[in-house]
Amino acid sequence: MILVTGGTGLLGSHLLLQLINTEEKIRVLKRKSSNISILNKLCAHYKIDENLLNKIEWLDGDLMDVVRIKEVCTGIDTIYHCAAMVSFNPLDAKQMIKINEGGTANMVNIANVVGVKRFCHVSSTAAIGKAKGNKESNESDPWSYDDYHSQYSISKYNAEREVKRAAEEGLNMVIVNPSIIIGPGVMGKSSSAIFSYALKEMGFYSLGSNGFVDARDVAKAMIKLTASEIKNDRFLVTGENQPFKNVFEKISEVLRVKKPTKPANPTLANIVYWIEKIRSFLTGSRPLLTQEMIISANLKISYSNIKLKNAIGFEFIPLEDSIKNAGEFYIQNV
């Protein structure tokens, strides 16, 4: 039997859509407040028989509840750990570290206790070290606390350390490090925020660049790696490296909205940041822009996918096709 955590998220939902086509029994650990209707919408989008969703056994639970986790993991052969919190707001740092690091520690500890045979952990490029110069970063580039890292990056790096520690204690694991994931999901959450931003026609684009990958490709890579003989290794899962400007323009074309034309340089971004900080203080609401967001949006990063391609002969969906697929879904479901 397979257990999936984070099954209602962007990646987890796409993983489930691929797993329900197998003969495996599937169990999903979810928060009590999670809305599973996104699976029905995705089935309609991809023209998948909704009756296949009946194969899924949904169980409520919390990553911090080790007693519940042990109950859910009993009888499980394979775990896909997708659950995580993504935020660049310092107000969320404590909770994010608790979920991403502490929750992962609980999952791998219990996996070893109950004898899970295979564990696939979803990390992030945020846990990959930065290559020197203009080279593409790869799995062997060292991550250092001395470099700039967001609280999200730190939480994902520490989560990986927990998985590697569990591997030394006997866990048979594989780690995937996806870049920015493009795909249909809940508008405004995780990387789908790129599409919601485009719909607002704000007119600005950030000056940074990053790696992008289709949600279907990440799910496919996870399944292939988990089914392989590869043990205790990590793989970058990234399709194309692109400037944010190019990505925003392609998204705007698909959504049929105005393309951004004004660069959000650091000076302008910092002015907006202070305006937001004052607004947040006066209204008691959460700021829409933080320093971590500004820094992350202006970093110029690229990642290599050579290791994954060589390991399992993987080919990626073109980014343009990924954007079109996601955009068409959001047009129908906004």
Task: Tell me, letter by letter, the H, E, C secondary structure of 138-150.
Answer: CCCCCCCCCCCCC
Q: Mind listing the pLDDT tens digit for each residue in 280-293?
A: 656 666 666 666 77
Calpha distance 69→257 (Å, rounded):
45
Q: Mind listing the pLDDT tens digit for each residue in 241-258?
A: 999 999 999 999 999 998
pLDDT grade, residue 270 (50/70/90)?
Answer: low
Q: Is residue 175 part of a domain?
A: yes
Q: Under DSSP, is residue 73 helix (H, G, I), strand (E, B) or coil?
A: helix
Q: Is residue 332 part of a domain?
A: no
Q: Is residue 262 part of a domain?
A: no
List the beta strands (DSSP E) in the chain: 2-5, 26-30, 56-60, 78-81, 118-122, 173-178, 180-182, 204-205, 209-214, 233-237, 240-243, 262-263
150-173 average pLDDT score: 96
pLDDT of residue 306: 96
Check residue 62 and report its DSSP letter.
-
Choose between 157 and 197: higher pLDDT.
Answer: 157
**CA distances in angstroms from 296 to 221, 224, 246, 266, 290, listed in the order given:** 26, 31, 17, 11, 10
Q: Mind listing the pLDDT tens digit for each residue in 162-198?
A: 999 999 999 999 999 999 999 999 877 777 888 888 8
pLDDT of residue 201: 73
Q: Is residue 161 part of a domain?
A: yes
pLDDT of residue 286: 65
Contact 184, 12 (CB under 8 A): no
Residues 6 or more apart in contact with residue 305 via CB below 8 angstroms: 236, 237, 238, 239, 314, 316
CATH of the domain at 226: 3.40.50.720
Question: For the chain, what is the mean pLDDT?
Answer: 90
pLDDT of residue 90: 81
Q: Which tokens in the block code for residue 161?
A: 């350390």
pLDDT of residue 17: 96
Choose between 200 and 20: higher pLDDT.
Answer: 20
Q: Which domain covers residue 119, as residue numbers?
A: 2-185+211-243+301-319
Q: Is residue 269 part of a domain?
A: no
- Nearest C-alpha neighbor of 333 from the set 258, 253, 251, 255: 255
User: How many residues belong to the chain?
Assistant: 334
- Nearest C-alpha neighbor of 158 from the set 7, 114, 150, 30: 150
Q: Mind listing the pLDDT tens digit for each residue in 91-136?
A: 889 999 999 999 999 999 999 999 999 999 999 999 999 888 789 9
Q: Is residue 292 part of a domain?
A: no
Q: Is residue 249 part of a domain?
A: no
27-41 average pLDDT score: 92
Structural domains in the chain (count): 1
Q: Mind listing the pLDDT tens digit for each residue in 214-232?
A: 999 999 999 999 999 999 9
Q: Is residue 289 part of a domain?
A: no
